[in-house]
Amino acid sequence: MGGHTSTYVPTSRWGKWFDERLPIARMMHGQFVDFPTPRNLNYLWTFGGILTFCLVAQIITGVVLAMHYQPSASGAFNSIEHIRRDVNFGWLIRNMHAVGASMFFVACYVHIFRGLYYGSYKAPREVLWILGVIILLVMMATACMGYTLPWGQMTFWCVTVITNLCSALDTIWQGLGTAIVEWLWGGYAVSGVTLNRFFSLHYLLPFVLCGVVALHIWALHVAGQNNPTGLDIKQPSDSVPMHPYATSKDIVGLFAFLLLFAWFVFFLPDYLGHADNYNEANPLVTPPHIVPEWYFLPFYAILRAFTGSFLGIPLGSLAKLMGVLAMFGAILILAFVPWLDTSRVRSTKYRPIYKWFFWLFAFTCLALGYLGSKPAEGVYVTWAQIFTTYYFLHFLVVMPVVGLIETPTKLPRSISEAVLGKSKGGTAPSGAAPAAAE
Amino acid sequence: MTTEVDDTNRRDFIILAGNAFVAVGAASLIWPFIQQMNPDASTKALSTVELDLAPVKEGQAITAMWRGKPIFIRNRTKEEVDAANKVDVSNLPDPLARNDGLPANDPATDANRTKAGKENFLIMIGICTHLGCIPKGQAMGDSKGDFGGWFCPCHGSHYDTAGRIRKGPAPRNLEVPPYQFISDTKIKIG
């Protein structure tokens, strides 16, 4: 992988014997010990490791919860309370899993915005980036199905709304959408049958996720990591071995993240949930105001922005289909970013005009998140439509156009120059040998 | 020479035929795994429900269950029926009746959404055609929306007194299930 040859030397006779038959220790050593890592990675680069931790933590706590959970319409709601009250340490493991889902998305969104800011999607990392978009989609599907399992009012109606998105296909071909929805439900409405199959898939998808994550890391180690300058590693002094330099930084980042994680687990386990979810699912009553979990809110706002008219343009009976297409399009458009961004420079650090648009885009996502939590009426709808418009304009217009018209600021000649220039008060001895990187 | 060409053709045929068998075999093996997720026999068996509407007084509404779905039954007041009749059908967002007991192209007149002689009873599947929430408007004190019928709080769809979509993202009128009056006050849904 990545043209980097492992310097692994087996230290025992048994190690040598094994290495000749299955060189897994050689591969791990080459990829995760002496792998060349840019010497200027900042703390935003610790989120890859944090995300790996989150995935493993979700799988371990999830497997334990499945030992105590009952995936049936009559048992599900009570079994969650049974886990929280009766099972030894059930309160802890359940909180870790529920809070863990939110923390997983926190880390994931930081990771995505870091990639967008430093141009980590640009050649030769396009496949790496697209695998990341696939991971995001699988994560969302997993989270959505997992959210069904407590079988409360909010989860029941969120699932109803999300699965009903498919019925928008009826606009294209009468009956197609309804057939798909009934197939997903296994009935004519969301029921215990639906709960059972979602439980099965919720257990399956994390392992699919593991597979795609393995490909993501493989692709990362072919191209090598991007870094805050966006420059390639050109000389040995630009990089340091992954261990102990990057790994120790990863651990500091992970511990800081775990402080936040633990604070929620121990002090605010229900803060990110909804009170309505402590009512058992009732197919005859919809809660007055349904909202998904916070990490879906920006996409939910985009879905709801398409009412009868969009910024004065009448949509008529197409509104539903367009809302659904826009919501999925908002995620899928990320896959095209490597080709939508026309800039020659990777890192936004050296892009004086795009920098402003980047932060406007970040603000747009936060604003959509806020609007998604508000009822779909009055001024909220108008603002959601304005921000939805910018969300798509950012990708379809700003990225291609700004990349062409902008003159980037002067780039450092190498990663070493960028790092050493800063540490020596701006006077970079060009081509200086980095003695520190031994 | 000819033998070789012959051989090649025979091999092509065998490969094509072999691949075709694999494709058909794979498809017929996958089918049970897809079909198992569709509504099962016990779900389909609950297909008819009988109800007595005598206790539902004018202005009252009840909600019944049919196939796991809520059925809205409202005994409409004269004003509500008149309001529904006054609407120009061609100006509606969805001009079709959406009545399972009528042909698909029938217009969304109030008469086409009820039974002749029982126009006061409006019987519909109480599921918003947008994303499947249960609209408000059945209980006393519920918001009935801008058109006096039903209002879906999820994404703001307003239905009128004939259950027709008037405002909001829902694409279709509320669906009228197949039902009939089996006596003066009793109905059978399904």
Instruction: Based on the fold, state whether residues B57 and B31 are members of the same structural domain.
Output: no
pLDDT at B133: 86
Dihedral sign for Cα atoms in the order B114, B117, B118, B120: positive
pLDDT at A270: 92
From the candidates B11, B44, B155, B186, which is the catalytic residue? Answer: B155
Instruction: Based on the fold, state whether residues B19 and B58 are members of the same structural domain.
Output: no
d(CA A99, CA A269): 6
Structural domain contains residue A405:
yes
Instruction: Based on the fold, state whether residues A203 and A129 are members of the same structural domain.
Output: yes
Structural domain contains residue A306:
yes
Question: How many domains does one find in chain B?
Answer: 2
d(CA B74, CA A25): 72
pLDDT at A428: 42
Instruction: Based on the fold, state whether residues A219 and A324 are members of the same structural domain.
Output: no
Q: What is the pLDDT along chain A (438 residues), one digit of tens a residue?
A: 456 788 899 999 999 999 999 999 999 999 999 999 999 999 999 999 999 999 999 999 999 999 999 999 999 999 999 999 999 999 999 999 999 999 999 999 999 999 999 999 999 999 999 999 999 999 999 999 999 999 999 999 989 888 888 888 888 888 899 899 999 999 888 999 999 999 999 999 999 999 999 999 999 999 999 999 999 999 999 999 999 999 999 999 999 999 999 999 999 999 998 999 999 999 888 887 888 999 999 999 999 898 778 888 887 778 788 989 999 999 999 999 999 999 999 999 999 999 999 999 999 999 999 999 988 778 999 999 999 999 999 999 999 999 999 999 999 999 999 988 754 444 444 444 444 333
Q: Is the pTM of this model over 0.80?
A: yes
CA B149 to chain centre: 18
Instruction: Based on the fold, state whether residues A104 and A227 are members of the same structural domain.
Output: yes
The token duo for A356 is 């402003």
Instruction: Based on the fold, state whether residues B95 and B164 are members of the same structural domain.
Output: yes
Instruction: Based on the fold, state whether residues A267 and A149 are members of the same structural domain.
Output: yes
Strand B148-152 to A313-314 pairing: unpaired
Instruction: Based on the fold, state whether residues A189 and A304 are members of the same structural domain.
Output: no
Instruction: Based on the fold, state whether residues B141 and B174 are members of the same structural domain.
Output: yes
d(CA A127, CA A220): 9
pLDDT at A156: 93
Instruction: Based on the fold, state whether residues B15 and B90 are members of the same structural domain.
Output: no
Print the domain residue range for B76: 44-189
Q: Do B154 and A286 touch (CB under 8 A)?
A: yes
ipTM: 0.74
CA A285 to chain centre: 33
Q: How far is B68 from chain A (nearest CA, A)?
A: 6
- How many C-beta atoms surround the C-beta of residue A62 within 10 A? 20
Instruction: Based on the fold, state whether residues B22 and B99 are members of the same structural domain.
Output: no
Structural domain contains residue A284:
no
Is-catalytic flag, B155?
yes
Instruction: Based on the fold, state whether residues B128 and B99 are members of the same structural domain.
Output: yes
* pLDDT tens column, B55-90: 888 888 899 888 888 999 999 998 888 888 888 888
Residues pairing with A314 in the sheet: A309
Task: Residue A191: list chain B partners with CB under 8 A.
Answer: 43, 68
**Phi, psi (degrees; rounded to nearest 5) at B131:** -130, 25
The answer, yes or no, to whether residue B48 has pLDDT greater than 50, is: yes
Instruction: Based on the fold, state whether residues A242 and A308 are members of the same structural domain.
Output: no
Q: Which among A225, A242, A273 is the end of a domain?
A: A273
pLDDT at A403: 95
Task: Residue B95: list chain A partners with CB under 8 A.
Answer: none
Interface-testing mutation among B34, B63, B134, B154, with chain A (most A C-beta atoms within 10 A): B154
* CATH number of B118's domain: 2.102.10.10
Closest Cβ–Cβ partner in B38, B63, B94 for A284:
B63
Distances (CA, A) of A340 to A122, A347, A387, A394, A403: 10, 15, 20, 10, 9
Q: Do A283 and B167 touch (CB under 8 A)?
A: no
* pLDDT tens column, B138-182: 888 888 888 989 998 888 889 999 999 988 888 889 999 999 899
Burial of A153 (0-12, 13-18, 19+ CB in 10 A): buried
Instruction: Based on the fold, state whether residues B153 and B183 are members of the same structural domain.
Output: yes
The identity of residue A39, as a single letter, is: R
- Do residues A278 and A98 lie in contact, with contact meaning Cβ atoms separated by under 8 Å? no
Closest Cβ–Cβ partner in A163, A191, A320 for B170:
A320
Interface-testing mutation among A282, A310, A320, with chain B (most B C-beta atoms within 10 A): A320
CA A333 to chain centre: 14
B172, closest residue in chain A (CA to CA)? A317
Print the domain residue range for A386: 291-414
Instruction: Based on the fold, state whether residues A402 and A318 are members of the same structural domain.
Output: yes
A157, closest residue in chain B (CA to CA)? B133
d(CA A339, CA A121): 9
Question: How many domains does one find in chain A?
Answer: 2
